[in-house]
Amino acid sequence: MPRKAKLPEAATAAPPPQPGMTIDQAMALAYGHWNAGYADQAEQLCQQVLQLWPEHFDALHLLGLLAHGHGNLPLAIDFLRRACNTPRASALFHSNLAEMLRQSGELLEAEKAARRAVTLDNNLPAGWNNLGIVLQEAGKLEESRSCLQKVVERTPDNPEAHNNLGNSFKRMGRLNDARRHYDQAIALNASYSEAHSNLANLLNELGEVEQALAEARLAIELNPRNADAYLNAAGIALGQKNQDEAMRWIDNVLSFAPHHPGALIAKARCLKEDDRPAEAEQFARQAVVAADKSSEAHEVLAQVLQALDRCDEAMEHYDKAASLPTATPETPVVSKAVMLMEIGRDRESLQAFDQARAINPRSANVWFNRCELKKFTADDPDIAAMSALLDSAAANGMGPADQMSLHFALGKALMDAGEAEPAFAHLAEGNRLKRATIDFDVESAANWLSDIAMTFDRERMTRFASAGDPSAMPIFIVGMPRSGTTLVEQILASHPQVQGAGELTILQKMVDRISGPDLRPIGYPQLVEQLLPEDLARLGGHYVERLRGLSQGRSRVVDKMPANFLYAGLIHLILPNARIIHCRRDAVDTCLSCYTKLFHGEQKFAYELRELGLFYRAYERLTDHWAKLLPAQRYTEVCYESVVDDLESEARKLIAFCGLEWNEACLEFHKTQRPVRTASVNQVRQPIYRASVGRWKAHARHLGPLLDALGLTLEQA
C-alpha cells in the first residue's frame, strides 16, 4: 500500500486550490497535498470532486487512504470498495483494498481483491506483495513465499520485499531463512521499523530475549506508532511472566489506536493470564466486533470463555475460529481439543487432535498436546512419526521450542511403551533445551527459601495475629508440582460447597506488585518488614474480592497454585482463617514426575536433575518450618501415598479440616464434571490407582544426580 509521506517539519497551511481547475487537476493537487502531509486539504478537494462526480474512482481511492491514515479502517474499506467497483479501477486500487481488508481480518475478500490486482497487472510488485501477505495470514504459506519471492526478484533492493518474505519463512518454520531476509531488510534500510519489530519477534522465539527487546524498543523509537512493535514487546514481557509491563506496551497501542484488533486481542489475553477473565471478556468481545472475520479474535474470546467455565460458548467460538482463514489453521482446533480434554470429553478431544494433525502434521504443538491423551505401546506409529519429524527438524528450520516439545512428547510416549533408555535420552535433551532458556541458580534459590523461613518467626506471627481479612472462603493447596495437589483439589471440588479455581496467580502477582516509596517493587520476603496491620487487612481483602468473582456462589474456593508454599506464612497473616493444605509425596517420585513434564507455568528448578534435588531439599526445609510455625487448625499436611492407600479416611480428614460437612461425592471425585487445567488432567478422571507409587525405583540408574542431591543411593531403590 502507498505510504503517506512524513509531515514536513515546518508545515503550516497548504496552498489554496486555484479557481477553475478541472477534476483531473483537482485530484493531482489533492494527491500533492496528501503526499506533503496536508490531509485536511486533500480531503476537502476529494469531497468537492465527489459533489460533481459522486463515484469518481480516484477521489474514492484517496479518501480511503486518508481514512486509513486517520485509523478509521471500516471507512477506508468502504471508500476502497466503492473505488474498486468503478469501471476505471486500477490494479493498485484492488491491491490497496486487499491490504485494508487483511488488516481488518477479512481474509477471504482480501485474497479475492489481491488476486484481482495481479490479474489486472501481472507486473505490479505491490500487487504480488499484498497477495503474498494475505496468503501468509490465510496459512497458504508456500504460495505466499512464491508471491513474495517474485517481489524480491523484481525489486532486490526493496527492504519491504525482504521483510515480507522473511515473514513467510518464519511462519513456515524456516527461521534461518527468515532471519537472513530480516537482516537484509535492515541492511538496506537501518531505519525500517517493521523489520526491526519482526526481528524482535523472531529473536524472542529463538530465546534471545534481551536482543529481542532491544530490537522492539528500536522499532518503536523509529516509529512510535508501530503497533506491532509494541505488541511484540508485550509478547516478550508475557514470556517473562511480567503482565504489568506487557499491559503497558498494549495500552500504548490502544492510546493511539483504540480499536486495533491485535491490541484488543493482546489485552484480553493478558488479562486472562492475570486471572481476570471477566475483564478479559470485555476486550475479547471488542476484538471480535473490530475484526469479526479474524480467527485469532474468535479464538481468544473462546479461551476467555473457557477460563470462565462457559465451555459451550467457548466451543462455538473455537469452531468459528477454525472456519476462518489463519496462518496456523490447526491452532484453534488444538485449543478446542485441549478444552475437551480438560472437561473430560476424551473421545471428542482425540478426534479434534486428529483433525489438527491432518491440517498440519508437522505441528509440534499438536503432537505435544495430543500425547497427553493416550497411552502408548511400543508399536504405536505415532512414535515413529514424531521421531521422523524431530530428525528433520534442523533441515526444516524448526525452532528450539518446537524441538523441545517433541523431545518431551517422545519421552512420555517411550516411557509409556516401557522403552526407558530412549525415553530418558529424549527427556534429557528436552530438559537441556528448556534449561538453556532459564536464568536460575539453585544455591541462590535455596538461600531465598531460607530467608523466607527466617522472616516469618513466631514473634511476627503472634504480633500480627488476626490482623488480616477474616474470610474463611480461601483454601490453599500447596506443595511441589506433581505431588498430588490436583488429586486433592478434585476431592475437595467434588463437595457441593467447594469451587475448584485451579492454579491462580493472584497471590504471587499481588506480592510482586508491592512497592516502596520510590514505586519500585520491594521484593519478597523483605516487604514483610514494612507491612502494617492495615496493609495485611487490605491485601487479604483484595485477595478475597478476586476470589469471590470465581466462587460461583460456593462458600469455599480452592486456589491450587503449588508454589504458594512460598507464601504460607504471609497467607496466614493476611487471611488468618484460610485453610492451607500441604501435599507431600515421595521425594524421588515427585522429582521424577517433574522432570518428565514440560510445564506451562514457571518451574525453573525442574529441568536439571541435580538442581531439582537440591531445590526439593530447600522446599522441604521451608515446609517443615511452616508445619511447626502455623496453627494446626489452619495448616495441615496430606501424604499422597496415604490418600492412595485409604482414600475415605484421608478425604474425611480434609473435608473436616475445611470446616465442612462430609459428602459422599468426595469419594467419587473422578466422576466430578469440572474443568481440570493441569498436567494431571487425565489422572484425576480415573479412580485411585497405585502405579505412580514408587515409580522411580525402576528408573534409578537414570537418576544418579537427583539421588545424590537428595542424599539417597542406588541401593535404596
pLDDT, tens digit, 9 for 90 and up, residues 341-389? 988 888 999 999 999 999 999 899 999 999 988 899 999 999 999 999 9
Is the pTM value of this prediction over 0.85?
no
Query: In terms of C-beta density within 10 A (0-12 exposed, 13-18 middle, 19 or more buried), how is residue 379 classed?
Result: exposed
- How crowded is residue 526: how many other Cβ atoms within 10 Å of its Cβ? 13
Tens-digit pLDDT profile for residues 384-438: 999 999 998 877 768 888 999 999 999 999 999 999 999 999 999 999 999 998 8
C-alpha cell at 13: 497551511
Of 35-44, 262-271, 297-306, 704-713, the one with minimum mean pLDDT is: 35-44
**Residue 680 DSSP code:** T
C-alpha cell at 30: 489533492
Reading across the β-sheet that carries 635-639, which strands appear in turn? 498-500, 556-559, 474-479, 579-584, 635-639
Residue 313 to residue 336: CA distance in whole angstroms: 12
Residues 465/569, Cβ–Cβ less than 8 Å: no
C-alpha cell at 333: 482446533
Q: Which long-range contacts (C-beta less than 8 Å, at least 24 apart) are formed by 241-245?
A: 241/602, 243/270, 243/273, 243/274, 243/509, 244/513
Taking alpha carbons only, the member of 574, 669, 674, 573 closest to residue 630 is 573
Provide the pLDDT for residue 11: 32
> Angle at which helices 346-359 and 330-342 pack, to 10 degrees?
170
Reported as a pLDDT band with limits 50, 70 and 90, residue 672 is: low
442-686: in CATH 1.25.40.80: no
Provide the pLDDT for residue 227: 94
3-state percent helix, strand, coil for the chain, nearest multiple of 5: 65, 5, 30
Mapped onto helix, strand or coil, the DSSP state of residue 634 is coil
The residues of the chain that CATH labels 3.40.50.300 are: 442-686
Residue 75 to residue 92: CA distance in whole angstroms: 18
**45-54, 121-130, 578-587 — most confident range:** 578-587
Residue 406 to residue 709: CA distance in whole angstroms: 28
With cell 484488533, the residue in question is 261
Helix (H), strand (E) at residue 96: helix 91-103
Q: Which amino acid is at 615?
A: F
Alpha helices per DSSP H over 603-646: 609-629, 640-645
The residues of the chain that CATH labels 1.25.40.10 are: 23-238
Residue 479 to residue 561: CA distance in whole angstroms: 8
Residue 622 to residue 620: CA distance in whole angstroms: 5
Residue 531 to residue 525: CA distance in whole angstroms: 11
Please give the mean pLDDT across all residues of the chain.
90
List, in sequence order, every residue forming a beta bridge with 558; answer none if it has no partner.
475, 500
Q: Indicate if the pLDDT at residue 675 is higher than 90.
A: no
Residues 31/17, Cβ–Cβ less than 8 Å: no
Reported as a pLDDT band with limits 50, 70 and 90, residue 8 is: very low
Reported as a pLDDT band with limits 50, 70 and 90, residue 686 is: low
Could you tell me the CA-to-CA distances from 397 to 176, 179, 192, 330 in Å, in that order? 6, 11, 25, 19
User: Could you give the angle at the alpha carbon of 326 between the alpha carbons of 321 and 332, nearest 5°?
Assistant: 40
Fold of 23-238: 1.25.40
Query: In terms of C-beta density within 10 A (0-12 exposed, 13-18 middle, 19 or more buried), how is residue 115 classed?
Result: middle
CA dihedral 326, 330, 331, 334 (to 10 degrees): 160
Reported as a pLDDT band with limits 50, 70 and 90, residue 16 is: very low
Tens-digit pLDDT profile for residues 610-626: 999 999 999 999 999 99
